[in-house]
Amino acid sequence: MAERPSSGASNGGTDLAERRLAERRAESDVPAVIQRVGVVGCGLMGSGIAEVCARAGLNVVVVEAGQEALAAGRRRVEASLAKAVDRGKLAPEGRADALELIAFSTRMADLADRELVVEAVVERFDVKAAVFEQLDAVTGPGTILASNTSSIPIMRLAMMTRRPEEVLGLHFFNPVPVMRLVELVTSLLTDDTTAVRATDFVEQVLHKRIVRSKDRAGFIVNALLIPYLLSAIRMMESGFATAADIDAGMVEGCAHPMGPLALSDLIGLDTVAAVAESLYDEFKEPLYAPPPLLDRMCEAGLLGRKVGRGFYDYNGRV
Ligand code: CAA
Protein backbone atom coordinates (compact mmCIF):
# COMPACT_ATOMS: atom_id res chain seq x y z
CA MET A 1 0.00 0.00 0.00
CA ALA A 2 1.25 3.49 -0.80
CA GLU A 3 2.57 5.39 2.16
CA ARG A 4 0.74 8.56 3.02
CA PRO A 5 3.17 11.50 2.93
CA SER A 6 4.04 12.59 6.48
CA SER A 7 1.70 15.24 7.86
CA GLY A 8 4.16 18.03 8.67
CA ALA A 9 3.29 21.38 10.22
CA SER A 10 1.20 22.59 7.30
CA ASN A 11 -1.15 19.61 7.35
CA GLY A 12 -3.36 20.86 10.19
CA GLY A 13 -6.14 21.55 7.67
CA THR A 14 -6.02 17.97 6.46
CA ASP A 15 -6.20 16.55 9.99
CA LEU A 16 -9.18 18.79 10.71
CA ALA A 17 -10.79 17.70 7.45
CA GLU A 18 -10.28 14.05 8.39
CA ARG A 19 -11.99 14.64 11.76
CA ARG A 20 -14.89 16.44 10.05
CA LEU A 21 -15.17 13.65 7.53
CA ALA A 22 -15.28 11.03 10.31
CA GLU A 23 -18.09 13.04 11.98
CA ARG A 24 -20.05 13.34 8.74
CA ARG A 25 -19.55 9.64 8.02
CA ALA A 26 -20.91 8.84 11.49
CA GLU A 27 -23.98 10.90 10.58
CA SER A 28 -23.99 8.84 7.35
CA ASP A 29 -24.27 11.65 4.84
CA VAL A 30 -20.99 10.66 3.16
CA PRO A 31 -20.45 7.21 1.63
CA ALA A 32 -17.69 5.34 3.50
CA VAL A 33 -15.81 4.42 0.37
CA ILE A 34 -16.10 5.22 -3.29
CA GLN A 35 -17.32 2.14 -5.15
CA ARG A 36 -19.08 3.52 -8.23
CA VAL A 37 -16.82 5.42 -10.58
CA GLY A 38 -17.48 7.16 -13.88
CA VAL A 39 -14.89 8.03 -16.52
CA VAL A 40 -15.65 10.48 -19.32
CA GLY A 41 -13.41 9.91 -22.34
CA CYS A 42 -11.83 6.57 -23.21
CA GLY A 43 -8.64 7.63 -24.98
CA LEU A 44 -5.14 6.84 -23.69
CA MET A 45 -5.79 8.21 -20.22
CA GLY A 46 -9.49 7.45 -19.77
CA SER A 47 -9.06 3.80 -20.77
CA GLY A 48 -6.16 3.45 -18.31
CA ILE A 49 -8.15 5.07 -15.49
CA ALA A 50 -11.15 2.82 -16.18
CA GLU A 51 -8.84 -0.21 -16.22
CA VAL A 52 -7.15 0.49 -12.89
CA CYS A 53 -10.52 1.20 -11.24
CA ALA A 54 -11.98 -2.08 -12.53
CA ARG A 55 -8.84 -3.96 -11.48
CA ALA A 56 -9.38 -2.53 -7.99
CA GLY A 57 -12.83 -4.19 -8.03
CA LEU A 58 -14.88 -1.02 -8.59
CA ASN A 59 -17.98 -0.70 -10.70
CA VAL A 60 -17.09 1.59 -13.62
CA VAL A 61 -19.17 3.41 -16.25
CA VAL A 62 -17.19 4.81 -19.19
CA VAL A 63 -18.82 7.46 -21.37
CA GLU A 64 -17.58 8.42 -24.85
CA ALA A 65 -19.13 10.75 -27.42
CA GLY A 66 -19.79 8.11 -30.10
CA GLN A 67 -19.89 4.34 -30.71
CA GLU A 68 -16.65 4.31 -32.70
CA ALA A 69 -14.63 6.03 -29.97
CA LEU A 70 -16.26 3.77 -27.41
CA ALA A 71 -15.30 0.61 -29.32
CA ALA A 72 -11.72 1.87 -29.70
CA GLY A 73 -11.60 2.61 -25.96
CA ARG A 74 -12.85 -0.88 -25.15
CA ARG A 75 -10.19 -2.42 -27.40
CA ARG A 76 -7.54 -0.34 -25.60
CA VAL A 77 -8.68 -1.63 -22.20
CA GLU A 78 -8.76 -5.22 -23.50
CA ALA A 79 -5.25 -4.94 -24.98
CA SER A 80 -3.82 -3.50 -21.78
CA LEU A 81 -5.47 -6.18 -19.63
CA ALA A 82 -4.06 -8.83 -21.98
CA LYS A 83 -0.59 -7.28 -21.60
CA ALA A 84 -0.96 -7.28 -17.81
CA VAL A 85 -1.78 -11.03 -17.95
CA ASP A 86 1.18 -11.68 -20.31
CA ARG A 87 3.53 -9.87 -17.95
CA GLY A 88 2.26 -11.79 -14.95
CA LYS A 89 0.75 -8.70 -13.31
CA LEU A 90 -2.82 -10.01 -13.47
CA ALA A 91 -4.25 -13.52 -13.09
CA PRO A 92 -5.92 -14.71 -16.34
CA GLU A 93 -9.37 -14.71 -14.69
CA GLY A 94 -8.73 -11.12 -13.53
CA ARG A 95 -9.02 -9.98 -17.13
CA ALA A 96 -12.62 -11.15 -17.53
CA ASP A 97 -13.50 -9.97 -14.01
CA ALA A 98 -12.23 -6.45 -14.77
CA LEU A 99 -14.04 -6.26 -18.11
CA GLU A 100 -17.26 -7.35 -16.48
CA LEU A 101 -17.05 -4.41 -14.09
CA ILE A 102 -16.88 -1.82 -16.90
CA ALA A 103 -20.03 -0.62 -18.67
CA PHE A 104 -19.47 1.36 -21.88
CA SER A 105 -22.02 4.05 -22.75
CA THR A 106 -22.56 7.12 -24.91
CA ARG A 107 -25.04 8.69 -22.43
CA MET A 108 -23.87 11.12 -19.76
CA ALA A 109 -27.10 10.34 -17.88
CA ASP A 110 -25.65 6.88 -17.10
CA LEU A 111 -23.28 8.62 -14.67
CA ALA A 112 -26.14 9.76 -12.41
CA ASP A 113 -25.44 7.27 -9.57
CA ARG A 114 -21.63 7.65 -9.53
CA GLU A 115 -19.76 8.68 -6.35
CA LEU A 116 -16.76 9.90 -8.35
CA VAL A 117 -16.50 10.90 -12.01
CA VAL A 118 -13.10 11.46 -13.63
CA GLU A 119 -13.12 13.58 -16.78
CA ALA A 120 -10.39 12.50 -19.22
CA VAL A 121 -11.37 14.10 -22.54
CA VAL A 122 -9.09 15.97 -24.93
CA GLU A 123 -6.91 18.71 -23.37
CA ARG A 124 -9.04 21.66 -24.52
CA PHE A 125 -10.77 24.02 -22.14
CA ASP A 126 -13.96 24.39 -24.22
CA VAL A 127 -14.44 20.61 -24.43
CA LYS A 128 -13.70 20.02 -20.74
CA ALA A 129 -15.90 22.97 -19.71
CA ALA A 130 -18.88 21.48 -21.59
CA VAL A 131 -18.30 18.11 -19.87
CA PHE A 132 -18.26 19.76 -16.42
CA GLU A 133 -21.52 21.59 -17.15
CA GLN A 134 -23.14 18.28 -18.12
CA LEU A 135 -21.68 16.40 -15.14
CA ASP A 136 -23.06 19.06 -12.83
CA ALA A 137 -26.49 18.54 -14.38
CA VAL A 138 -26.57 14.72 -14.30
CA THR A 139 -24.95 14.02 -10.91
CA GLY A 140 -26.07 15.21 -7.50
CA PRO A 141 -24.32 16.60 -4.41
CA GLY A 142 -21.91 14.05 -2.96
CA THR A 143 -20.49 13.06 -6.35
CA ILE A 144 -16.89 14.21 -6.64
CA LEU A 145 -16.15 15.66 -10.08
CA ALA A 146 -12.45 15.24 -10.92
CA SER A 147 -10.49 16.32 -13.96
CA ASN A 148 -7.49 14.44 -15.30
CA THR A 149 -6.34 17.65 -16.98
CA SER A 150 -2.57 17.89 -17.43
CA SER A 151 -2.48 21.63 -17.23
CA ILE A 152 -5.78 23.54 -17.13
CA PRO A 153 -6.38 25.32 -13.79
CA ILE A 154 -9.04 23.42 -11.81
CA MET A 155 -10.72 26.67 -10.74
CA ARG A 156 -11.76 27.36 -14.35
CA LEU A 157 -13.41 23.93 -14.63
CA ALA A 158 -14.96 24.12 -11.15
CA MET A 159 -16.68 27.40 -12.06
CA MET A 160 -18.55 25.58 -14.83
CA THR A 161 -20.50 23.78 -12.07
CA ARG A 162 -22.79 24.93 -9.25
CA ARG A 163 -20.70 23.05 -6.67
CA PRO A 164 -17.03 23.96 -7.05
CA GLU A 165 -16.44 22.58 -3.53
CA GLU A 166 -16.76 19.07 -4.99
CA VAL A 167 -14.41 19.63 -7.93
CA LEU A 168 -10.70 18.80 -7.93
CA GLY A 169 -7.88 17.58 -10.15
CA LEU A 170 -6.77 13.93 -10.17
CA HIS A 171 -3.95 13.79 -12.69
CA PHE A 172 -2.86 10.27 -13.66
CA PHE A 173 0.23 9.38 -15.71
CA ASN A 174 0.61 7.34 -18.87
CA PRO A 175 0.60 4.32 -18.95
CA VAL A 176 -1.88 4.50 -16.06
CA PRO A 177 -1.64 0.81 -15.01
CA VAL A 178 2.15 1.17 -14.71
CA MET A 179 2.78 4.68 -13.34
CA ARG A 180 2.21 4.96 -9.60
CA LEU A 181 1.72 8.71 -9.37
CA VAL A 182 -1.44 10.81 -9.14
CA GLU A 183 -1.26 14.58 -8.69
CA LEU A 184 -4.07 15.85 -6.47
CA VAL A 185 -4.96 19.45 -7.20
CA THR A 186 -7.39 21.46 -5.09
CA SER A 187 -8.74 24.83 -6.19
CA LEU A 188 -9.35 27.77 -3.87
CA LEU A 189 -12.92 26.48 -3.44
CA THR A 190 -12.40 22.70 -3.09
CA ASP A 191 -13.87 21.45 0.18
CA ASP A 192 -11.45 19.63 2.56
CA THR A 193 -13.89 16.70 2.69
CA THR A 194 -13.68 16.31 -1.09
CA ALA A 195 -9.88 16.28 -0.93
CA VAL A 196 -9.80 13.70 1.86
CA ARG A 197 -12.29 11.38 0.11
CA ALA A 198 -10.28 11.60 -3.11
CA THR A 199 -7.01 10.99 -1.26
CA ASP A 200 -8.41 7.90 0.48
CA PHE A 201 -9.65 6.62 -2.85
CA VAL A 202 -6.34 7.01 -4.68
CA GLU A 203 -4.15 5.73 -1.86
CA GLN A 204 -6.27 3.04 -0.28
CA VAL A 205 -8.28 1.73 -3.22
CA LEU A 206 -6.00 2.29 -6.23
CA HIS A 207 -2.79 2.01 -4.16
CA LYS A 208 -1.18 4.90 -5.97
CA ARG A 209 1.07 7.61 -4.58
CA ILE A 210 -0.32 11.14 -4.30
CA VAL A 211 1.57 14.39 -4.58
CA ARG A 212 -0.35 17.59 -3.85
CA SER A 213 -0.09 20.65 -6.02
CA LYS A 214 -1.49 24.14 -5.88
CA ASP A 215 -3.80 25.07 -8.73
CA ARG A 216 -1.26 26.42 -11.23
CA ALA A 217 -1.10 25.41 -14.90
CA GLY A 218 1.05 22.28 -15.29
CA PHE A 219 0.91 21.45 -11.58
CA ILE A 220 4.20 19.87 -10.39
CA VAL A 221 5.17 17.32 -13.01
CA ASN A 222 4.31 19.07 -16.26
CA ALA A 223 5.72 22.39 -15.07
CA LEU A 224 9.05 20.52 -14.91
CA LEU A 225 8.61 17.95 -17.69
CA ILE A 226 7.23 20.08 -20.54
CA PRO A 227 10.12 22.62 -20.74
CA TYR A 228 12.48 19.62 -20.85
CA LEU A 229 10.55 18.00 -23.72
CA LEU A 230 10.33 21.32 -25.59
CA SER A 231 14.10 21.83 -25.17
CA ALA A 232 14.72 18.43 -26.75
CA ILE A 233 12.43 19.32 -29.68
CA ARG A 234 14.25 22.66 -30.16
CA MET A 235 17.59 20.84 -30.00
CA MET A 236 16.49 18.49 -32.77
CA GLU A 237 14.84 21.29 -34.77
CA SER A 238 18.04 23.33 -34.77
CA GLY A 239 20.10 20.39 -36.09
CA PHE A 240 22.13 20.27 -32.87
CA ALA A 241 21.72 16.47 -32.62
CA THR A 242 19.60 13.64 -34.02
CA ALA A 243 16.45 12.36 -32.31
CA ALA A 244 18.14 9.02 -31.63
CA ASP A 245 21.19 10.66 -30.05
CA ILE A 246 19.12 13.06 -27.92
CA ASP A 247 17.08 10.13 -26.60
CA ALA A 248 20.11 7.87 -26.11
CA GLY A 249 21.78 10.70 -24.18
CA MET A 250 19.01 10.73 -21.59
CA VAL A 251 18.47 6.95 -21.48
CA GLU A 252 22.12 5.92 -21.30
CA GLY A 253 23.50 9.01 -19.60
CA CYS A 254 20.77 9.74 -17.05
CA ALA A 255 18.99 6.37 -16.67
CA HIS A 256 15.63 7.72 -17.82
CA PRO A 257 13.35 4.87 -18.98
CA MET A 258 12.93 6.62 -22.34
CA GLY A 259 14.31 9.72 -24.05
CA PRO A 260 12.36 12.99 -24.37
CA LEU A 261 11.34 12.54 -28.01
CA ALA A 262 10.16 8.96 -27.50
CA LEU A 263 8.31 10.17 -24.39
CA SER A 264 6.67 12.98 -26.38
CA ASP A 265 5.49 10.33 -28.86
CA LEU A 266 4.09 8.27 -25.97
CA ILE A 267 2.24 11.23 -24.42
CA GLY A 268 0.94 12.40 -27.83
CA LEU A 269 2.30 15.52 -29.53
CA ASP A 270 -1.13 17.19 -29.49
CA THR A 271 -1.18 16.82 -25.70
CA VAL A 272 2.41 18.07 -25.34
CA ALA A 273 1.49 21.14 -27.45
CA ALA A 274 -1.75 21.75 -25.51
CA VAL A 275 0.03 21.58 -22.16
CA ALA A 276 2.76 23.91 -23.44
CA GLU A 277 0.08 26.42 -24.54
CA SER A 278 -1.58 26.29 -21.10
CA LEU A 279 1.75 26.86 -19.36
CA TYR A 280 2.60 29.71 -21.74
CA ASP A 281 -0.83 31.31 -21.22
CA GLU A 282 -0.41 31.19 -17.47
CA PHE A 283 3.23 32.23 -17.02
CA LYS A 284 4.19 33.94 -20.32
CA GLU A 285 7.66 32.37 -20.11
CA PRO A 286 9.27 31.80 -23.57
CA LEU A 287 10.56 28.37 -22.51
CA TYR A 288 6.94 27.15 -22.34
CA ALA A 289 6.06 28.27 -25.90
CA PRO A 290 5.62 25.33 -28.32
CA PRO A 291 8.43 25.30 -30.92
CA PRO A 292 7.36 25.58 -34.60
CA LEU A 293 8.36 21.94 -35.33
CA LEU A 294 5.89 20.72 -32.69
CA ASP A 295 3.08 22.81 -34.19
CA ARG A 296 3.88 21.61 -37.73
CA MET A 297 3.88 17.96 -36.62
CA CYS A 298 0.50 18.43 -34.94
CA GLU A 299 -0.89 20.08 -38.07
CA ALA A 300 0.44 17.13 -40.11
CA GLY A 301 -1.27 14.64 -37.81
CA LEU A 302 2.09 13.16 -36.75
CA LEU A 303 0.91 12.84 -33.17
CA GLY A 304 3.14 10.00 -31.95
CA ARG A 305 2.50 6.37 -31.05
CA LYS A 306 -1.27 6.61 -31.03
CA VAL A 307 -1.28 7.28 -34.80
CA GLY A 308 1.82 5.19 -35.60
CA ARG A 309 4.15 8.10 -36.39
CA GLY A 310 5.68 11.05 -34.54
CA PHE A 311 9.39 11.60 -33.99
CA TYR A 312 9.68 7.87 -34.70
CA ASP A 313 7.82 5.53 -37.04
CA TYR A 314 6.00 2.75 -35.19
CA ASN A 315 4.87 0.88 -38.34
CA GLY A 316 1.41 0.49 -36.94
CA ARG A 317 2.74 -0.72 -33.55
CA VAL A 318 0.89 1.60 -31.12
N1 CAA B 1 -0.61 -3.51 -16.50
C2 CAA B 1 0.26 -3.69 -15.49
N3 CAA B 1 1.62 -3.66 -15.66
C4 CAA B 1 2.07 -3.48 -16.89
C5 CAA B 1 1.21 -3.28 -17.99
C6 CAA B 1 -0.19 -3.30 -17.76
N7 CAA B 1 -1.08 -3.11 -18.72
N8 CAA B 1 1.97 -3.09 -19.08
C9 CAA B 1 3.24 -3.15 -18.69
N10 CAA B 1 3.31 -3.39 -17.38
C11 CAA B 1 4.52 -3.49 -16.54
C12 CAA B 1 5.45 -4.57 -17.03
O13 CAA B 1 5.12 -5.80 -16.46
C14 CAA B 1 6.79 -4.09 -16.53
O15 CAA B 1 6.88 -4.33 -15.13
P16 CAA B 1 8.25 -4.81 -14.45
O17 CAA B 1 9.20 -3.63 -14.59
O18 CAA B 1 7.86 -5.09 -13.04
O19 CAA B 1 8.69 -5.98 -15.24
C20 CAA B 1 6.68 -2.58 -16.69
O21 CAA B 1 5.28 -2.29 -16.70
C22 CAA B 1 7.29 -2.08 -18.00
O23 CAA B 1 6.57 -2.66 -19.09
P24 CAA B 1 7.16 -3.10 -20.50
O25 CAA B 1 8.25 -4.09 -20.28
O26 CAA B 1 6.04 -3.48 -21.37
O27 CAA B 1 7.67 -1.83 -21.17
P28 CAA B 1 9.03 -1.08 -21.06
O29 CAA B 1 9.98 -1.72 -20.14
O30 CAA B 1 9.41 -0.84 -22.48
O31 CAA B 1 8.52 0.29 -20.39
C32 CAA B 1 7.26 2.25 -20.10
C33 CAA B 1 7.50 1.04 -20.97
C34 CAA B 1 6.56 1.83 -18.80
C35 CAA B 1 6.32 3.17 -20.90
C36 CAA B 1 8.63 2.90 -19.76
O37 CAA B 1 9.32 3.17 -20.93
C38 CAA B 1 8.45 4.18 -18.99
O39 CAA B 1 8.28 4.17 -17.78
N40 CAA B 1 8.52 5.33 -19.71
C41 CAA B 1 8.30 6.64 -19.11
C42 CAA B 1 6.83 6.88 -18.99
C43 CAA B 1 6.53 8.24 -18.44
O44 CAA B 1 7.38 9.05 -18.16
N45 CAA B 1 5.22 8.50 -18.30
C46 CAA B 1 4.74 9.78 -17.85
C47 CAA B 1 4.36 10.60 -19.05
S48 CAA B 1 3.81 12.20 -18.58
C49 CAA B 1 2.17 12.02 -18.39
O50 CAA B 1 1.58 11.00 -18.55
C51 CAA B 1 1.44 13.18 -17.88
C52 CAA B 1 1.06 14.25 -18.77
O53 CAA B 1 0.19 14.98 -18.36
C54 CAA B 1 1.68 14.55 -20.05
* pLDDT above 90: residue 178: yes
Q: Tell me the CATH number of domain 9-213, given options 3.40.50.720, 3.65.10.10, 3.40.50.2000, 3.30.465.10.
A: 3.40.50.720
d(CA 256, CA 3): 24
| Protein residues whose CB sits closer than 6 Å to any atom of ligand 1 | 80, 83-84, 87, 89, 150, 173-175, 177-179, 222, 257-258, 263, 267, 271
Q: What Rg do the C-alpha atoms of the chain give, in angstroms?
A: 20
Kindly list the distances between the CA atom of residue 240 and the CA atoms of 4, 237, 245, 247, 274, in Å, as whole numbers in the listed order.
Answer: 43, 8, 10, 13, 25
Using DSSP bridges, classify how beta strands 209-213 and 144-147 pair: parallel, antiparallel or unpaired: unpaired
How large is the average pLDDT for residues 212-240?
97
Catalytic-labelled residue, pool 150, 187, 213, 278:
150
Average pLDDT of the chain, as a whole number:
92
User: Cα–Cα–Cα angle for 174, 178, 180, nearest 5°?
Assistant: 90
Active site residue 174: no
Model confidence pLDDT, tens digit, residues 245-276:
999 999 999 999 999 999 999 999 999 999 99
How large is the average pLDDT for residues 36-62?
97
* pLDDT above 50: residue 8: no
pLDDT the model gives residue 4: 40
Span(s) in the chain for CATH 3.40.50.720: 9-213
User: Cβ neighbours of residue 293 under 8 Å, at least 6 residues apart?
Assistant: 233, 234, 236, 237
Model confidence pLDDT, tens digit, residues 93-138:
999 999 999 999 999 999 999 999 999 999 999 999 999 999 999 9
Catalogue the E-assigned strands of 53-152: 59-63, 102-105, 116-119, 144-147
The model's confidence at residue 33, banded by pLDDT at 50, 70 and 90, is confident
CATH number of the domain at 221-307, please? Answer: 1.10.1040.10
Model confidence pLDDT, tens digit, residues 205-216:
999 999 999 999
Lowest mean pLDDT among 145-154, 170-179, 277-286, 307-316: 307-316
Span(s) in the chain for CATH 1.10.1040.10: 221-307
- Does the pTM surpass 0.85? The reply is yes
